[in-house]
Amino acid sequence: MTAYFIDRRLNPKGKSLANRQRFLRRARAQIREAVQKSLKDSDVADAGKDRKVRISNQGTREPRFRLDPSKGGHRDFVLPGNKQFSAGDQIKKPQQGQGGGGGKDAATSGEMDDDFEFMMREDEILDIFFEDLELPNLVRTALSDVQMSSWKRAGITTAGAPTQINLLRTMRNSFGRRLALRRPSLAGVKALEEEIATLEAQEPPLQDEALLASLRAELDRVNIRRKWVAYIDPVDVRFNAFVEQPQPSSQAVMFCLMDVSGSMGEREKDLAKRFFVLLHLFLRRRYQKVEIVFIRHTHDAQEVDEQTFFYSRQSGGTIVSTALEKMLEIQKQRYTTSDWNIYAAQASDGYTQSGDARRCVELLENDLMPICQYYAYIEILDEREMEVFSSEEAGAELWRAYRTVAEHWKNFATKRIAKPSDIFPVFHELFKKQEVE
Amino acid sequence: MNAPLFTESEWNFQTLDRVLKAIEEVAIDDLRLEPYPNQIEIISTEQMLDAYSAMGMPLMYHHWSFGKLFAREEGLYRSGQIGLAYEMVINSNPCISYLLEENSTTMQTIVIAHAAFGHNHFFRNNYLFQQWTNAESILEYLAFAKRYIAACEERYGFADVEAILDSGHALMSEGVFRYRRPPRPSRARLIEKHRRRADFAEEDYNELWRTLPQGAEPPPPGPDLWDNDSEELAGGPKLPEENLLYFLEKCSPALKSWQREVLRIVRHLAQYFYPQRQTKVMNEGCATFVHYTILNGLYEKGLLTEGSMLEFMANHTAVVFQPDFDDPRYSGINPYALGYGMMADIRRISERPAEEDKFWFPDFAGKGDWRQVLKDAWANYRDESFIEQFLSPKLMRDLRLFALSDSAEAPHLTVAAIHDEAGYRKLRSTLARQYDVGVSDPNIQVVGANLKGNRKLFLEHRMHRGVPLNPSQKAQVLPHIERLWGHEVSLEEVAPE
């Protein structure tokens, strides 16, 4: 009898990963529906966390032939725990589905597992969340508007800087050429010189005058040939070649602009926050590094930290253009377009001092839009206003002004929202997969 | 008196070695068990979940349904709704048992006795396992299956392979030979098959495909339609055929050769698990009885502390607990409770029989040789016959069993028998029938195929006592059969004359 133990605990984990991927792929439609619903309903700030997802069993059913005694026929079965029954007693049938007649009923019906609940990991959720979204213009930026580049090896060339000489290849060429052209070796020269020296050292009269002469002639010939066939010739030299390769910048900055004047209440700020969070989540997924700049404004603008941005109030009028100016200033100081992808999200209730809207349009058209990858503006209305402004054209001064900008710039988006459930559709539309042009 | 094997609840491999030796002494010398050699593996909880979701096998091909099961089990486990099994054991030679690393030393002791000796002995000696499964080669076969299916996925795409597996899985319980042994391929075919599989193992995928027939051409109709695989089917299939997967694999006009091989893999697995389905009560009963006897044996030798013994008692009691039918915890008859109850009862009858036992079990009552009686039972019975033969009146009373008679159209259930003198035999037979998979599984047969005309396939569900199939499940399974057959399929439910 042999027996032995094996410690398997350190074996690679995740053996069922392939099965999980197949399952997620199989239930894709149901999972997408469930994930999007659960993201819509729940706090957007938690969007990127592990969560329980309940999906319908549609698509992942595993049907089997099963007998169904409730549909006809006759059966006998045994149960444990008799308390008061005697043979011949009649018992009213329990209601269908209560399972009083035995757990087997529920198991055989096969309908009990129509809903299916399981944990999804952050990455899986976000994958689905962003599945059909594409960061606008990212591809175009990366390809045409090269902002960063890196050097990549690109083989060997015959021209280049001395620091890039590829010694190995150069020496190999040199060696081959020397062999082919029979360059006399240094050792051969030395041997000749020694031989001549020995002969010259002999007491005259020399016995081998002729030999010495021929050796001298040989030495001259050899030296000339050595000069003629150089040790390293320019044709031997090879250089490592590098080419500059465009690389999309991997960092982004996101400017959050918000009106914090008295007309922006808790509700408006909450909606704006969700919007910012969602955008941030999206950027974080696309870029290695995302920085956020919070700019709040009333009649003048300040850069503030997140807490102040969302939770402190300020009194004053509303001049939206101050925030745009501030953004431009900060961008110039800290976020050069060559290193940063610039995104801006602006939330407002749509009011601004009369006449300011024109200034905003100027700033956007001339300064901001050329440097921004994307500029999203949301106008937060209450539900009543939302009905009034059901058409895109109708709206306050700022809205109409921004719409003119949107006409000129494809990467400028404006939306109106009134309730949390509007946010996701807005977001979805803002970042809808852009048609390839 | 011996010193205890261990006093700590933290185990290490030295302790486990000592425990294993001590258990082996009791199991082999006292109980005279004859298990396969043991390979005991310590695994983490995640690995246990892995094993759960892959039909309890150490390696398995990939399929989404395993991922679904894993996701479900993981969710339930993480939220604390279920505990994990303490062990898992595989019918293979050497017999592989998985022990969870989190178990205490006492638990490991129980689990080694339970799995590595109880289940192991049962696997090796029970006639069903001997006849229907091949413990020597199952792991090798699974490795082949996994590689083969992965290669198919690579070559034909996930979707096509998944479709065949889905359909195969839907017919798994109709993919076993119940009443006869699977036909043995001729020796020549066997050699050919081995050669092909060896090719597969050794050569790269391209080489593999070279050895398989090319193309998607269905076999030409006519007499040689059936002549494509086993010689049993030469000259036409013997109808009716109970093994749907076998029939489709051999005779479907729509399948390509790789699809047949995939179906064969599913069918082999179904057949491998079929004995386990027929021996749940006995298998668990055997393992539980063995661990109970061994642990007590160790205790009597002074090898276990009182503390361990108490831990063991608590655990054992929970395992064999049988809730009443009206208890919210009730979910069917607990196979551990019934199996262990019956086996403990055999020992009681053998050692200290009551008057009625001498009447019911004249063969062994009072003869004291319970070891031999149990070994015979473990070797030669399945759940149905075991219950029919060995369920004693005392146990029926202890469990307070009663039989109900249920007609679909009647508004009432009728109590057919209870645990009294008049009811024992009927109760026992009813319970035995309940464990007959031949009765609890639908009896579906291939009765004909229109090969000349529209190639329609005719199936029959031969209803047992008029119980029909669940209509919605039936509607969902039929498309799978049609996919495999490639043409229309009709399934009629008939009452046998």
Convert the pLDDT of each residue in B377-426 to its tens digit: 999 999 999 999 999 999 999 999 999 998 888 888 999 999 999 999 99
- The verdict on A231 and A361 lying in the same domain is no
More confident site: A244 or B121: B121
Question: Does the beta carbon of A82 lie under 8 angstroms from any beta carbon of chain B?
Answer: yes
A67 with B469: Cβ contact below 8 A: yes
pLDDT tier at B37 (50, 70, 90 boundaries)? very high
Picking from B62, B78, B174, B436 by the largest number of A CB atoms within 10 A of its own CB, the best residue to mutate is B62
- Specify the pLDDT at position A97: 46
CA distance A41 to chain B (A): 22
The token pair at B433 is 């029938």
**Residue of A288, A292, A270 lying closest to A279 (CA atoms):** A292
Residues A383-423: pLDDT tens digits? 777 777 666 666 778 888 888 888 888 778 888 888 766 66
- The verdict on A120 and A193 lying in the same domain is no
The structure tokens 């129980």 sit at B110
pLDDT tier at B209 (50, 70, 90 boundaries)? very low
pLDDT tier at A430 (50, 70, 90 boundaries)? low
Report yes or no: A287 and A335 within 8 Å, Cβ to Cβ: no
- The verdict on A115 and A30 lying in the same domain is yes
- B433: which chain A residues are within 8 Å (Cβ-Cβ)? 76
Q: Is the pLDDT of residue A307 over 70?
A: yes
pLDDT tier at A99 (50, 70, 90 boundaries)? very low
The token pair at B161 is 């392979």
pLDDT tier at B226 (50, 70, 90 boundaries)? very low
Residue A265 lies in a domain: yes
DSSP code for A192 = H
- The verdict on A411 and A296 lying in the same domain is yes
Domain that holds residue A195: 162-241
CA distance B442 to B445: 10
- Specify the pLDDT at position B210: 42
- The verdict on A258 and A347 lying in the same domain is yes
A20 with B49: Cβ contact below 8 A: no
Residue A153 lies in a domain: no
Residue A8 lies in a domain: no
- Specify the pLDDT at position A148: 56
CA distance B145 to B150: 8
| Closest chain A residue to the Cα of B72, Cα to Cα | A118
For residue B445, give every residue at least 6 positions away whose Cβ sits within 8 Å of its Cβ, in sequence order, or none: B239, B240, B241, B242, B459, B460, B462
Residue A231 lies in a domain: yes
CA distance A365 to B251: 73
Ramachandran quadrant class, A245 (left: phi over 0; alpha: psi -120 to 50; beta: rest): beta
CB-nearest partner of A78 from B173, B412, B427: B427
Residue A84 lies in a domain: no
Ramachandran quadrant class, A394 (left: phi over 0; alpha: psi -120 to 50; beta: rest): beta
Q: Is the pLDDT of residue A316 over 80?
A: no
- The verdict on A229 and A121 lying in the same domain is no
CA distance A93 to B27: 48
For residue A187, give every residue at least 6 positions away whose Cβ sits within 8 Å of its Cβ, in sequence order, or none: none
- B16: which chain A residues are within 8 Å (Cβ-Cβ)? 5
Query: Which residues are registered as beta bridge partners of A291?
Result: A253
Q: Which of A200-204, A279-283, A340-344, A423-427 has the highest mean pLDDT?
A: A340-344
**Hey, what amino acid is at B276?**
Q
Residue B59, phi then psi, degrees to nearest 5: -145, 150
3-state SS record for chain B: CCCCCCCCCCCCHHHHHHHHHHHHHHHHHHCCCCCCCEEEEEECHHHHHHHHHCCCCCCCCCCHHHHHHHHHHHHHHHCCCCCCCCEEEECCCCEEEEEECCCCHHHHHHHHHHHHHHHHHHHHHCHHHHHHCCCCCHHHHHHHHHHHHHHHHHHHCHHHHHHHHHHHHHCHHHCCCCCCCCCCCCHHHHHHHHHHHHHHHHCCHHHHHHHCCCCCCCCCCCHHHHCCCCHHHCCCCCCCECCHHHHHHHHCCCCCHHHHHHHHHHHHHHHHHHHHHHCHHHHHHHHHHHHHHHHHHHHHCCCCCHHHHHHHHHHHHHHCCCCCCCCCCCCCCCHHHHHHHHHHHHHHHHHCCCHHHHHHCCCCCCCCCHHHHHHHHHHHCCHHHHHHHHCCHHHHHHHCCEEEEEECCCCEEEEEEECCCCCHHHHHHHHHHHCCHHHHCCCEEEEEECCCCCCCEEEEEECCCCCCECHHHHHHHHHHHHHHHCCCEEEEEECCC
- The verdict on A403 and A267 lying in the same domain is yes
pLDDT tier at B145 (50, 70, 90 boundaries)? very high
Report yes or no: B51 and B43 within 8 Å, Cβ to Cβ: yes
CB-nearest partner of B65 from A8, A62, A119: A62
Report yes or no: A71 and B408 within 8 Å, Cβ to Cβ: yes
Q: Is the pLDDT of residue A285 over 70?
A: no
- Specify the pLDDT at position A112: 46
CB-nearest partner of A75 from B64, B332, B467: B467
CA distance B262 to B250: 12
CA distance B487 to B450: 10
Residues B93-104: pLDDT tens digits? 899 999 988 889
- The verdict on A412 and A331 lying in the same domain is yes
Residue A76 lies in a domain: no
CA distance A110 to A104: 10
Question: Does the beta carbon of A50 lie under 8 angstroms from any beta carbon of chain B?
Answer: no
pLDDT tier at A138 (50, 70, 90 boundaries)? very low
The structure tokens 């320019």 sit at A234
Q: Is the pLDDT of residue B63 over 60?
A: yes
Residue A57 lies in a domain: yes
- The verdict on A47 and A178 lying in the same domain is no
Chain A residues 109-138 with CB within 8 Å of chain B = 109-111, 116-119
Q: How far is CA A405 from CA A365, A413, B445, in A?
A: 7, 9, 73
Residue A155 lies in a domain: no
Domain residue extents for chain B: 13-126, 320-439
Three-class SS of residue A209? helix
Question: Does the beta carbon of A70 lie under 8 angstroms from any beta carbon of chain B?
Answer: yes
Query: Which residues are registered as beta bridge partners of A339?
Result: none
Domain at A412, CATH number: 3.40.50.410
pLDDT tier at B478 (50, 70, 90 boundaries)? very high
- Structural domain total, chain A: 3
Cβ atoms within 10 Å of B111's Cβ, excluding its own: 25
- B71: which chain A residues are within 8 Å (Cβ-Cβ)? 20, 23, 118-119
